[in-house]
Structure 1
Amino acid sequence: MQSIYERIEYLIKQKGITKKSFCEELGISTGNMGDWKRGKSTPGTHKLIEIGAYFQVSLDWLILGKAAPEMVRESSEDYFFEQIRQLNCHIELLPDEKIFIKEYLAFTEYRRRKAAEENS
């Protein structure tokens, strides 16, 4: 699976739903989906976050086809580094890395909000 579209198509098949119902549930036009298939465009950041949350997959996998690092877990407080070293971590992030982290935080917030709505 080389493209975002191919990964989305794979997820749709795995979930056992139609492309039409997927589009309806996420508010995606079939025209946009066709553009993604032809490589004419790709989903925007907010739509990628929604799609990732819908299928419960990482943005790394959805966008790049890469598996998320094993040490990054939402169910644990040990994000990126061991707890002991978090306070002593001094790393300068590149602008692209800062943007990615902000998008990931927005994605996490979105998932929590959706889960809270479902539990209400």
Structure 2
Amino acid sequence: MKLEEEDCSKAMLSIKDALEAVEGTWKLLILYSLCSGPKRFTELAREVTGITDKTLSKELKLLQANKLIKREVYDASPPAVEYTITKHGRSLNKVLFELWSWGRAHRKEVIGK
């Protein structure tokens, strides 16, 4: 029994780590947007409807800190900044697909559409 409790505790820690990396309304939507290719800040702001510039900036920094996206500054006038999903970020593709699929079924169940 004790071994099972330890395994459960370790599993919960892993789940907690995962949730902290993608928690909130916006992080998974930003990652989903970046799945189609690199984007500039304004492109992300346009695609992720409802997010404020301040929140987008904060979320991008947190995604970078968790190595899920990369920020690249190009030497141009004015400087161009692009965000891309990393290999580590792409490891969430199956999770994103499952959430999309579940979300469609959930909407149909709750709303009937």
TM-score, length basis structure 2: 0.32
- Higher-Rg structure is 2
- TM score, norm. by length of structure 1: 0.31
**Higher normalized strand content (fraction of residues):** 2
